[in-house]
Structure 1
Amino acid sequence: MKAALPIYHARMQRVLDHIDRHLDDDLDLDAMSGVAAFSKFHFHRQFVATFGLSVHRYVQLARMKRASYRLAYRDAQSITEIAMDAGYDAPDAFARAFRQRVGQSPSSFRKAPDWEPWLAAFGPLNNARSKLMQTTYTPHDVTIRDVAPTPVAIMKHRGDPATIGATIQRFIAWRKATGLSPTVSPTFNVFHSDPRTTPPAQYRMDLCVGTDRPVEANGERIEAGTIPGGRCAVLRVVGNTDNLEPAALYLYRDWLPASGEEARDFPLYCQRVAFFPEVPEHKAVAELFLPLK
């Protein structure tokens, strides 16, 4: 039984990966049961029992989540294009469904997203995905690297982590205005606070972009700084990169005490290597860095 369970979960994980890769395609039950190598007569009940969602609702939520990211962070794509990519034949049908799910029209969400209802709307999807995502790690997952110092431009987020989406939106707009594309300029987050123990109003995180150019504010509060070089323990997270807490907890609670290493006087930080929705969500990559003495 214990040996069979990981195999069963791996087959279900294949289904989620298939959905991520084929959100623009017709995702019928026959095809997905074949991906999992399960009987088509039982697959749907197995899926619901594993994830707590029907296949249809899971796909709807996955498409709507991708659409919401494109609305908030990809202003070059029209709402009509986003609606079609989400599987709707007309923008008004998409608008009704989006408002019902998120509480805002697509155009209103694009201008000023209300992130707290958004988090609630996609909680069932995130819960389903987390059931099979890796949340436990081993020492073999951690490497020690000597990293070079990186000059960065910094936009500070101060306040409730639930509102970080608005800061990300401003950060992306500022990067576009200054020509600091993620394809050529690395993206970092520096975590000054632990969200589990810090009151929401006092939460602190920095959004950073690597650049050795003079910093242009362009109407934003931008500071120049440096992510210092030195030895770091690095843990690579693939998939659910919105939630790095399990990886951070492993580094501090399990890996660091057993390693004989000591943490250096600089906060935990991550580099965003591959972003959703540019890549399917299961292929998003973040590397978490714990600076060491």
Structure 2
Amino acid sequence: MTAALQTYHARMQRVLDHIDQHLDDDLDLDALSSVAAFSKFHFHRQFTATFGLSVHRYIQLARMKRASYRLAYSDAESVTDIAMDAGYDAPDAFARAFRQRFGQSPSSFRNSPDWEPWLVAFGPLDNARSKLVRTFTPDDVTIRNVPPTRVAIMEHRGDPATLGDTIRRFIAWRKAGGLHPSTNPTFNVWRSERRPASPSTYSTDLCVGTDQPIEANGEDIKAGEIPGGRCAVLRVVGYTDNLEPAALYLYRDWLPASGEEARDFPIYCQRLSFFPDVGEHEATADVFLPLK
């Protein structure tokens, strides 16, 4: 039964990956049921039963999520181009759908996003992506000797619902300083649980590797260092919004069985490729557990 369930989930995962790879294509039920190797007469019911929303709704939300990320984090693309890529024939139709879902026009969201309705709107999509529990094995973990890395840090303290604003400021600051992700690595250092009992206690550091003097340019930027040493490293490919399952695997499963001991520095990640620069199925991050 376990093997059969894993096979079933793998077939459904193929569908999600296919959707991510072909968001700009005509994703009809015939094509998607063929990817999953399920009967087209039952596939849409199987999809809804597995993920809690229909195939059509899932695709709509995936396209709208990509569009909202481009609006919020990439000022180089026009609203018209973003609307076309989201599958709308005209910017007006995109604007109506966007306002209905988020309570803001695309231009207003680009200038000053209201993240609370955004989080609510994409809750079903995030829940769907989390339905297929990612499994890790000891073979997925490597131990590396990591060199120390000097970083510039922008701290986020408080409600995780406002993290998007901090990310926007961080991206704008590093752009102004010429700290591109291709030349200056990006790290997140987690100093609290992903969903603490009190949202006000949420704490994470957004970091960019740099050896250059830091010019704050009006932002609250600190100089720091990610210490070198031995680390257990787990690579995650696809849907890196939620890296908690990887962190839990390292803490709960891998560490007790390994005979290793954790070092006195928080678990952290290095983001190697980013959505929407790549499809969500290709977004990649390494999760580091510092060891003694």
Normalising by the smaller structure, the TM-score range is over 0.9
| Alignment of 1:126 onto 2:126 | yes
| Alignment of 1:42 onto 2:13 | no
Query: Could you tell me how far apart the structure 1 residues matched to 2:268 and 2:99 are?
Result: 35
Deviation at 1:212, TM superposition (A): 0.9
Task: Give the conservation status (yes or no) of the 8 Å contact 2:147–2:228.
Answer: yes
Query: Could you tell me how far apart the structure 2 residues matched to 1:108 and 1:235 are?
Result: 38
Q: Which runs of 5+ in 2 are unaligned?
A: none
TM-score (norm 2): 0.96
Query: Could you tell me how far apart the structure 2 residues matched to 1:53 and 1:208 are?
Result: 36
Query: Could you tell me how far apart the structure 2 residues matched to 1:176 and 1:170 are?
Result: 10
Query: Could you tell me how far apart the structure 1 residues matched to 2:89 and 2:206 are?
Result: 37
Moved more, 30-39 or 274-283: 30-39
Deviation at 1:255, TM superposition (A): 1.9
Task: Give the conservation status (yes or no) of the 8 Å contact 2:83–2:90.
Answer: yes
Task: Give the conservation status (yes or no) of the 8 Å contact 2:15–2:35.
Answer: yes
Which residue in 2 is equivalent to 1:59? Answer: 59
Local SS of the residue matching 2:40: coil
Deviation per CA, 1:203-256, whole angstroms, max 9, x where unpaired? Answer: 221100011111121221111111110001111122221112222222222222
Aligned residue identity for 1:281: E
Aligned residue identity for 2:244: E
Query: Could you tell me how far apart the structure 2 residues matched to 1:124 and 1:178 are?
Result: 37
Local SS of the residue matching 2:58: helix
| Alignment of 1:114 onto 2:76 | no
Aligned residue identity for 2:64: M
Aligned residue identity for 1:90: A
Distance of aligned partners of 1:74 and 1:44 in 2 relative to their CA distance in 1, 3 Å threshold? same
Distance of aligned partners of 1:223 and 1:198 in 2 relative to their CA distance in 1, 3 Å threshold? farther
Task: Give the conservation status (yes or no) of the 8 Å contact 1:154–1:222.
Answer: yes
Deviation at 1:82, TM superposition (A): 0.5
Aligned residue identity for 1:59: I
Which residue in 2 is equivalent to 1:207? Answer: 206
Local SS of the residue matching 1:146: strand
Q: Which runs of 5+ in 1 are unaligned?
A: none
| Alignment of 1:2 onto 2:2 | yes
Q: How does 1:1-293 map to 2 (within 5 A)?
A: 1-134=1-134, 136-197=135-196, 199-293=198-292
Task: Give the conservation status (yes or no) of the 8 Å contact 1:130–1:240.
Answer: no
Deviation at 1:198, TM superposition (A): 5.5
Query: Could you tell me how far apart the structure 1 residues matched to 2:64 and 2:162 are?
Result: 20
Local SS of the residue matching 2:2: coil
Task: Give the conservation status (yes or no) of the 8 Å contact 1:270–1:286.
Answer: yes
Query: Could you tell me how far apart the structure 2 residues matched to 1:219 and 1:50 are?
Result: 47
Query: Could you tell me how far apart the structure 2 residues matched to 1:257 and 1:28 are?
Result: 46
Moved more, 138-147 or 74-83: 138-147
Local SS of the residue matching 1:128: helix
Query: Could you tell me how far apart the structure 2 residues matched to 1:265 and 1:129 are?
Result: 32
Task: Give the conservation status (yes or no) of the 8 Å contact 1:33–1:40.
Answer: yes
Deviation at 1:94, TM superposition (A): 0.5
Query: Could you tell me how far apart the structure 2 residues matched to 1:263 and 1:198 are?
Result: 24
Q: Which portions of structure 1, spanning 4 or more consecutive aligned residues, are displaced by more than 3 angstroms? A: 195-198
Local SS of the residue matching 2:281: helix
Query: Could you tell me how far apart the structure 1 residues matched to 2:194 and 2:48 are?
Result: 31
Moved more, 122-131 or 247-256: 247-256
Moved more, 149-158 or 258-267: 258-267
Query: Could you tell me how far apart the structure 2 residues matched to 1:201 and 1:42 are?
Result: 45
Q: Percent same amino acid at aligned positions?
A: 80
Deviation at 1:122, TM superposition (A): 0.6
Aligned residue identity for 1:189: N
Question: What CA RMSD, in Å, does the superposition of the two structures yield over aligned residues?
Answer: 1.4
Distance of aligned partners of 1:83 and 1:37 in 2 relative to their CA distance in 1, 3 Å threshold? same
Local SS of the residue matching 1:256: helix
